[in-house]
Amino acid sequence: MTQIQDTEIRNLIFKETQRQSEGLEMIPSENHTSMEVLHALGSRLTDKYSEGYPGMRYYGGCEYVDKVENLARERAKKLFGVSHANVQPYSGSPANMAVYFALADPGDTVMGMALYYGGHMTHGLKVNFSGKWFNSIQYKTGEDGYLNYETMADLAAKHSPKLIFVGATAYPRIFDWTKLRLIADSVNAFLVADISHIAGLIVAGVHPSPAGIADVITTTTHKTLRGPRGAMILCNGNPSNPLKPAPRTRENLPTLIDRAIIPGLQGGPHNHQTAAIAVALKEAGTPEFREYGSQIVKNAKRLAEQLSNKGYKLVTGGTDNHLLLIDLANKNITGAEAEHSLGQAGITVNKNTVPFDPRPPFDPSGIRLGTPALTTRGLKEVEMDQVADWIDASIKHSKDEKLLMNIRSEIREFTRSYPLPGETTLS
C-alpha cells in the first residue's frame, strides 16, 4: 500500500498500531480485524455515492456497489438465518435509532436494560435520544447481577411498552430468548434483540440465537464478529417498496426497517464499510471462525476462574460469554484507578459500573474486560493464567510505577509471539 505522506497522521497511526501490537487489548467491545477487512475498508469504494438500495438508487454508476451490497446482505441472511438484512447503518446506535423510528412514535413507551446495570444507552437512557423522545422504562438486574425474567414480565405488564430492547454491553450471562418472547407477547410488544456484543458467539454456536424469536435483530459488526465498524439490522417478513409507507406489522418489518434507514435517517451508505462487512461475514462463515468463537468463551471462563481464585469478585460469579465484569470494592481500588494502573502495565480495560454501584459512572467500582481480541491473536487457556497474574499484580501494586513498567516490558516481549493479523511472528 502507498505510504501516507501526511507524516503527522502517519506517525499517529503507527503509534496506535504499535500500542495495540505491544499490549493486551481486553476491552470486550474491541477486536482486531483481518488484513482483508482493512483492505476493503481502505478501497476506492469510499468515493462512491449510492443513496437508496440495490436497483433503486438516486445515483448512476452503482452497478458494482449494488453487487457489493447484495453480497453483504445475502451473506448476513445466510449466516444468521433470517430472510432480510439491512447492512447500511453507519454504526450500532444509528441502527437502534432506525428501529425506534420504524416501530414507534415519539412519546410511546419503550423498555430496555438500564445502562448502569449492563445495558446500552440507546436502550432508554434518559439523556439519550431513546430516553428523551420516548417514555423509557428501564429494567435492572438483581443483586446477584442476573436478569430476573419475572420482574421484567411484571414491569412490562405494568407499563405496556410498544418496544422491548434486550441486549447488553456488560452482562456476562446468556439471554433466554424464549422467555423474553413470552414477555413481549404478553403485552403485544415488538421484541428487539441487540446482539452487538455476542453476534460472533451466536455465529459460532456458543450462544443461543434470537433469529426466529425476536422480531428485529440489531448488531454492530466490529466486536466478536471481527469486522469493520458498522452495523446491520436483521428481520423476517416480506419486503416491498421501501419508498412507500407500510403498516406496522411483523410481515412489513423489512419495509419498515429499510424505510427508516433511508429516507428516514441516513443518506448515502458507506460502500467501503459495506464491502468490509461482506468480507468479515464470509470469514465468519468458516469452520475456523466457529473454533475462534468457542475459544473466546473458553478463554473467558479460564480467566474468570483464575481471577476468582485470586479473590476477585466477579458479577454473577463468572461468565457464559466473552466478558467479565469485576467489582473491585474488596480490593480497595476504584475502577478508574484500576483502568489506569492496568493501562500503565500494557493491559487495556475499561472502568465500568457494577449492579447497584454506590460510586459514580466516571469513577465506578468495577472494570470490564474480555477475551475477543486476545483470542484473535492466538492466546488460549494456558496464556489466560499468565494474563490473570499480570492483572492481579497490576492491581495489587497499582502505585508501584517501577513494577508496572516491568510488567509492561514482560507483556511487550510476550506479544512478540502473538502478532496482530497480518503481522509476522517476531519470536
| Rounded distance between C-alpha atoms, residue 69 and residue 377, angstroms | 29
Q: Given CATH 3.90.1150.10, say whether it is the number of domain 22-32+290-415.
A: yes
Give 162's DSSP letter.
S
Position 240 confidence tier, pLDDT thresholds 50, 70, 90: confident
Domain with CATH 3.90.1150.10 in the chain: 22-32+290-415
Containing 139, the helix (H) or strand (E) segment is strand 135-139
Of 73, 75, 223, 368, the active-site residue reads 223
Residue 244: C-alpha distances to residues 84, 155, 310 (Å): 18, 35, 60
173: annotated active-site residue: no
Of 30, 36, 51, 176, the active-site residue reads 51
Position 293 confidence tier, pLDDT thresholds 50, 70, 90: very high
> What dihedral do alpha carbons 319, 410, 377, 15 form, nearest 10°?
110
Within a 13 Å sphere around the CA of 244, how many CA atoms are in the beta-carbon half?
A: 5
Helix, strand, coil shares of the chain, percent, nearest 5, are: 45, 15, 40
Of 220, 274, 334, 348, the active-site residue reads 220
Domain with CATH 3.40.640.10 in the chain: 38-284
Of 22, 30, 36, 49, the active-site residue reads 49
Fold designation for 38-284? Aspartate Aminotransferase; domain 2 (3.40.640)
64: annotated active-site residue: no
**Structural contact between residues 26 and 349, judged by C-beta atoms closer than 8 angstroms:** yes
Cell reading at 181: 418472547
pLDDT of amino acid 244: 74
pTM for the structure as a whole: 0.96
Of 57, 122, 139, 194, the active-site residue reads 194
Q: What spatial distance separates the first Cα and last Cα of the chain, rounded to whole Å?
A: 25
Containing 231, the helix (H) or strand (E) segment is strand 231-235
Average pLDDT score over the chain: 96
Give 377's DSSP letter.
T
pLDDT of amino acid 245: 76
Q: Phi first, then psi: give them for residue 359, nearest 5 degrees.
A: -100, 160
- Render pLDDT for 98-109 as a digit per residue (tens, 0 to 9): 999 999 999 999
Of 77, 229, 359, 396, the active-site residue reads 229
pLDDT of amino acid 202: 98
Instruction: Tell me the average pLDDT across 369-373.
Output: 98
Position 427 confidence tier, pLDDT thresholds 50, 70, 90: very low
| Rounded distance between C-alpha atoms, residue 147 and residue 413, angstroms | 41
Containing 15, the helix (H) or strand (E) segment is helix 7-22
- Render pLDDT for 74-123 as a digit per residue (tens, 0 to 9): 999 999 999 999 999 999 999 999 999 999 999 999 999 999 999 999 99
302: annotated active-site residue: no
Question: In degrees, to the nearest 5, what angle opens at C-alpha 211 toward C-alphas 207 and 214?
Answer: 105
- Render pLDDT for 34-55 as a digit per residue (tens, 0 to 9): 999 999 999 999 999 999 999 9
223: annotated active-site residue: yes
Instruction: Tell me the average pLDDT across 281-309.
Output: 98
Reply yes or no on whether the pLDDT at 215 is more than 60: yes
pLDDT of amino acid 287: 98
